[in-house]
Amino acid sequence: MSDTHPQRAYRAACPGCGAPVSFRSAQSTHAVCGYCHSTVVRRGEVLSRIGKMAELFDDHSPLQLGATGRIAATRGATAVTQGFVVVGRLQYQSAQGVWTEWAVLQDDGQSATLSEDNGSYVYARPRELGRALPDAAHFRLGATTAIDGRSYTVTSVAEVQLRAAEGELAHLPELGRPFALVELRSQGDPGGKGSQGAVLSLDYSPTLLGQPPVASLGHEVQLDALAMTGLKPQAEREEKGRQFNCPACGAPVTVELGSTKRLTCASCHSLIDLTQGVGAELLQARQREPVEPLIALGSTGRVQGRPWQVVGFQHRMGSEPDDPHEHFGWNEYLLYNAKMGFQFLVDAEDGWSLVKPTTGVPVLGFGGKSATYLGTQYALQYAYNAETTYVAGEFYWPVERGQKSFNRDFAAGQSLLSQEQTPREITWSSGSRLHAKVVADAFGLQDQLASMARHDAAPTSLAKGPSQMVIVVTIFLIIVLLAWLDSTDDCDPSLQNCAAASGTRSSGGSWGGYSSGGSHK
């Protein structure tokens, strides 16, 4: 913390056990005793015990109380950086999963939050809104509204509840009491400040600070860019790594990533839910015979100049809205980089692509035939229903078989934009096409290039000279022949990439088929 911090710390004995409880911010009204887990409320300099907090689910986050960092800020017209310290932690749960929000105290004495969001983080500050907002029930998923002069799209309307908390907190919903949480996202400004878009969260939980909703406005950040210190050591996370016996077959199962919410047993392929803790209460569901990924789980490849590890794999099926009997399939690999978070490598009939969830929300054109994002207009390519049919590895959201969404895929040259909508949430992702050779080179699979080839364009380096052209034409004819042979077989789209009977193919920029609901994931 800075020596110029304007607030003095207040420390008193916990009414429950007598252990010291500290308040570093004048805005903090609650704290959770680190010894007896009593929930303590501060009224002036008097502490009162109002209950006991549930045990936290250990999500193995690299963040912990006391970690510090710096965030971009403005002082008048000057851009500066401001220090902050992590002082509290809130764990929320909805029907779709569990996520964490970390309470931080800035050097200027103001409170903020650092929250999980689709495999990334969002840094958000409290926001005083210029107008009264309606009840949560009035917000319609996908609708646009103007708030404080900025246009937002409603991307999530969910019922959530506080599961557990620790540390010092400016805002503490009642434990276990459901309340509404609405999330709105804005379009990014090309080249401008906050160019990736903003996230406006509306918390409708009753609070001591006034009538709901409590609003916060945030933007995407990466832990590496925050210059954080005091993070949990990697060795400690590995030492405490969760290892248990599969509840279905008894084989040993190890959790490798701290953000994992679901994973599969390598022995029996059962899907295991980790959000309820490790023990007999683990939810598990058996899956049918596994799909064999072309890129092995655990493989590390250098993609776009950075190392990415394959930590998850899922097979998905799609169908045209007007012809639900015709199906096609594609595969998605979840890639992880410790500093960059997660992104998806998609293997579809029309080629490979690399995509990542967006913070901002593109603007749909009339009838959904186009979408504009960061100054680029994308044309609609496909619209289809999607369903997850098989998963393997680890996932940062509670993925499961049978999850369904309605997808739209847009393209502008080699750039891709995709929308996925469930009854509770809309999620966007953006990325670009990749040639199969790029993927093969990245993961050392040059000897499998023929089996990885798709109906995509050849890279520029292969399009030079007559001999290369002959090679390209030959490869194209082989692919066409293989595609024709596949069409004569009984292709099971739940296990393979199968084109529809018409020969067309919906798809391939979809980011993962599921969004967890709630303010942050």
Q: What is the DSSP string of 237-251?
A: HHHT--EEE-TTT--
Q: Which pLDDT band, with edges at 50, 70 and 90, does 20 fall under?
A: low
Alpha-carbon distance 350 to 409, whole Å? 12
222 and 300 share a domain?
A: no
Q: Within a domain: residue 504?
A: no
Q: Within a domain: residue 520?
A: no
Which of 190, 209, 226 terminates a domain? The answer is: 226
Q: Which pLDDT band, with edges at 50, 70 and 90, does 515 fall under?
A: very low
294 and 419 share a domain?
A: yes
Q: Per the structure, how many domains does the chain have?
A: 2
DSSP symbol at 442: H
In this structure, of 180-189, 372-381, 429-438, 487-496, the range with the lowest mean pLDDT score is 487-496
Alpha-carbon distance 435 to 476, whole Å? 14
Compute the average pLDDT of residues 336-358: 88
86 and 161 share a domain?
A: yes
In three-state secondary structure terms, 12 is strand
Q: 């911090």: which residue's tokens?
A: 5
Q: Which pLDDT band, with edges at 50, 70 and 90, does 520 fall under?
A: very low
pLDDT digits (tens, 9 = 90+) for 255-273: 766 556 677 777 777 777 7
pLDDT at residue 396 is higher than 90: no
217 and 354 share a domain?
A: no
Provide the pLDDT for residue 257: 66
Alpha-carbon distance 192 to 202, whole Å? 25
Return the structure tokens found at 266: 């390598």
Is 40:19 a contact under the CB 8 Å cutoff? no
Which has the higher per-residue pLDDT, 383 or 284? 383
The average confidence (pLDDT) of the chain is 75
Compute the average pLDDT of residues 276-287: 51
Provide the pLDDT for residue 18: 63
State the residue range of the domain holding 196. Answer: 10-226
Q: Which residues of 353-388 are buried (b: 16+ CB within 10 A; e: fewer)?
A: bbbbbbbbbbebeeeeebbbbbeeebebbbbbbbbb
pLDDT digits (tens, 9 = 90+) for 311-331: 889 999 999 888 777 888 999
Q: Within a domain: residue 107?
A: yes
292 and 201 share a domain?
A: no
Q: Which pLDDT band, with edges at 50, 70 and 90, does 355 fall under?
A: very high
Which of 442, 476, 501 terminates a domain? The answer is: 442
Q: Which pLDDT band, with edges at 50, 70 and 90, does 417 fall under?
A: very high
Q: Within a domain: residue 22?
A: yes
